[in-house]
Amino acid sequence: MLVDLERNDLGRICKTGTVQVTDFMLLEKYSHVSHIVSNISGRLLPGQSIFEILKAVFPGGTITGCPKIRCMAIINELEPVERGPYSGSFGYIGYTPYLDLNIIIRSILIHKGKASFHVGAGIVADSIPEKEYQETLDKTAAMMEALLSRIDR
């Protein structure tokens, strides 16, 4: 469903028939978690500015859920604190027509001597609450390990 959501987002700014899934549900393993990754590409319609592109694809559906607008409203109602940079983006925009951006997760913000981070899990129809909760604990452990490894130096 999320791949379809992102295909739809790109379809609003790309030439008809050019949006394609180049990789579908590849498993990427990291030290504490795994990700299922799909890559989607398309040829932009003429005259699309970087701002129109960003507006079309952010926030990412993997962060918001689907339907995107309603899910964002629910998240805003339920979460007790602002997300700050979490689930935003970091990357670069080149002088040539090239950009490389991410969605900020598993990142630590250090501001005025204090460190903070967010963790979460994707909730879907067949989610098992205990497993989703364990996923947040696993992600928290990885972030704490990263923080503590810097303190010990």
Residues marked active site are found at 35, 62, 86, 106, 122
For residue 35 the two structure tokens come to: 């990700």
91, 98, 107, 108 from 104: Cα distances, Å: 10, 19, 6, 10
Helix (H, G, I), strand (E, B) or coil at 39: strand
